[in-house]
């Protein structure tokens, strides 16, 4: 039995001697269940995120140096590829880590509410971690290109310039990764709650949320196709884009809650 399951089992096994103790016992059990799920989800996804960016950091350094050693010049860095890959990596981890834990969490007495809180808190941490790593990678790649005497081309994103562009891009990337994590988790819950056929059909609303965060942040495939038509530029464009991404995060959390309420211990027939 996992640590999360043991913790939840221990808390639910406690029976209050007096009715007045019941609310306190329930609150304590909820906190313990939340912490157990949080430790598993946030710890695992943060560790994998660090490994992902360490690998891409090596690629971002090695590739330009190899090109320079062969007397070549790069017109753009590999940061764009890292951005695309990071989101889908967060998406995949959202499916894998939560699907493996939810059944044990519920069977051991944990609640859907505590699991939802842990999942949303994990997505917030995922967004923060990916955003910070993206910002550091942006500064590092730009400095490397400058040291090699090359012009660095900023990837497409929100309409900002200078240091503000780095901050805006990092925030947008973090919010996008949080949405991808939540949607990935919701898709995994959809299969557990609705079965294979309906679960597959319900992927479409999740993909719409992924497209929406791409358009609002003007990144990704959807951002490349539709983000440029948004009627906002300058600081207004940055503000609207980040607010739109925050709204998309809230919608993704709500979509996850809908799926989580349908999950049962016994798989749907």
Confidence of residue 266 (pLDDT cuts 50, 70, 90): low
Predicted pLDDT of residue 19: 54
The model's pLDDT over 142-164, given as tens digits with 9 standing for 90+, comes to 999 999 989 888 888 888 888 88
List of E strands, the chain? none
Predicted pLDDT of residue 156: 83
- Cβ atoms of 156 and 218 closer than 8 Å: yes
Mean pLDDT for all residues in the chain = 83
Least confident of 42-51, 63-72, 109-118, 160-169: 109-118
pLDDT greater at residue 28 or residue 212: 212
Predicted pLDDT of residue 55: 92
Euclidean distance between CA atoms 141 and 138, whole angstroms: 5
pTM: 0.85
Residues contacting 29, CB < 8 A, separation 6+:
8, 11, 12, 14, 109
Predicted pLDDT of residue 61: 92
The model's pLDDT over 81-94, given as tens digits with 9 standing for 90+, comes to 887 889 999 999 98
């Amino acid at each position: 039995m996992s640590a999360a399951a043991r913790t939840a089992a221990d808390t639910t096994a406690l029976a209050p001697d007096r009715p007045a103790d019941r609310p306190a016992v329930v609150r304590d059990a909820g906190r313990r269940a939340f912490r157990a799920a949080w430790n598993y989800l946030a710890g695992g996804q943060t560790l994998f995120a660090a490994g992902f960016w360490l690998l891409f950091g090596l690629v971002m350094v090695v590739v330009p140096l190899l090109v320079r050693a062969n007397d070549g010049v790069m017109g753009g860095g590999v940061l764009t590829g890292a951005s695309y890959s990071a989101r889908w990596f967060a998406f995949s981890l959202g499916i894998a880590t939560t699907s493996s834990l939810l059944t044990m969490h519920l069977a051991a007495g944990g609640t859907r509410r505590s699991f939802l809180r842990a999942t949303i808190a994990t997505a917030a941490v995922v967004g923060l971690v990916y955003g910070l790593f993206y910002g550091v990678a942006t500064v590092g790649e730009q400095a490397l290109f400058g040291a090699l005497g090359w012009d660095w081309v900023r990837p497409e994103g929100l309409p900002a310039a200078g240091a503000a562009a780095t901050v805006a891009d990092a925030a947008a990337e973090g919010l996008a990764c949080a949405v991808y994590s939540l949607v990935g988790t919701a898709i995994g819950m959809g299969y557990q709650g609705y079965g294979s056929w309906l679960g597959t059909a319900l992927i479409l609303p999740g993909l719409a949320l992924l497209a929406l965060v791409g358009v609002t942040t003007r990144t990704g495939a959807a951002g490349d196709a539709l983000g440029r038509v948004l009627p906002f530029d300058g600081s207004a464009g940055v503000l609207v884009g980040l607010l739109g991404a925050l709204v998309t995060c809230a919608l993704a959390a709500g979509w996850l809650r809908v799926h989580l309420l349908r999950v049962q211990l016994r798989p749907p027939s």
